[in-house]
Amino acid sequence: QAKPVEKFDESLAHLCEDMFASMYAANGVGLAAPQIGLGIRLAVIDVTFGKNPEAKIVLANPEIMHIEGDQREEEGCLSMPGIRGTVLRPSYVTIRAQDVTGKSFEMKGEGLLARAFCHETDHLNGILFIRHLSSLKRELIKRRIRKMRKAGDW
Ligand code: NI
């Protein structure tokens, strides 16, 4: 459980830019502060992989307000390279958050963006996407990670 972002200052703006840069370098569409060792409720998202500067989203203290529909798609996470699994998520998600300046906003996302809203908010609550998989699938993934660890590949 990450702590709320309280200070919206220049160092927060720098941190967000660093997070976008790391996310683009890893070809991700989202990155949450706990993934880089910071226990604060902050995430960045860009489902265009940096192609559209206006698609950059900073989510500080996000809250999911409304969900609708179902989508089942493969999902991965920068914290678990090479691991993917099919996760059930809502098709439409309305989120409320603060931007990098502390201003509150609401935004509706669908498809990949709806998925990213859920995935990143989960990170702030200490939840990885594999939590949403079946226990069998999760065990298989854990076994694979143990094997990779033994081989020094993780
Ligand atoms: Ni993730």
Q: What is the rounded distance in angstroms from the CA atom of residue 68 to the CA atom of residue 81? A: 29
- Enumerate residues 6+ apart whose C-beta is below 8 A from 117: 45, 59, 62, 64, 93, 95, 109
Report CA(54)–ligand 1 centroid distance (Å).
Answer: 22
How far is ligand 1, taken at its centre, from the CA of residue 130, in Å?
Answer: 10
Please tell me the predicted confidence (pLDDT) of residue 153. 82
Strand, coil or helix: 76 = strand
Looking at residue 1, what is its pLDDT?
86
Distance 127 CA to ligand 1 centre (A): 9
32 Cα–ligand 1 center, Å: 7
Q: How far is CA 102 from CA 19, 98, 126, in A?
A: 17, 5, 23
Whole-angstrom Cα distance, residue 88 to residue 66?
Answer: 16
C-alpha to C-alpha distance for 96 and 61, rounded to whole angstroms: 8
Q: Which residues are catalytic?
A: 120
pTM of the model as a whole: 0.95
pLDDT in tens, the chain (154 residues): 899 999 999 999 999 999 999 999 999 999 999 999 999 999 999 999 999 999 999 999 999 999 999 999 999 999 998 899 999 999 999 999 999 999 999 999 999 999 999 999 999 999 999 999 999 999 999 999 999 899 988 8
User: What are the tokens at 31?
Assistant: 């990155």
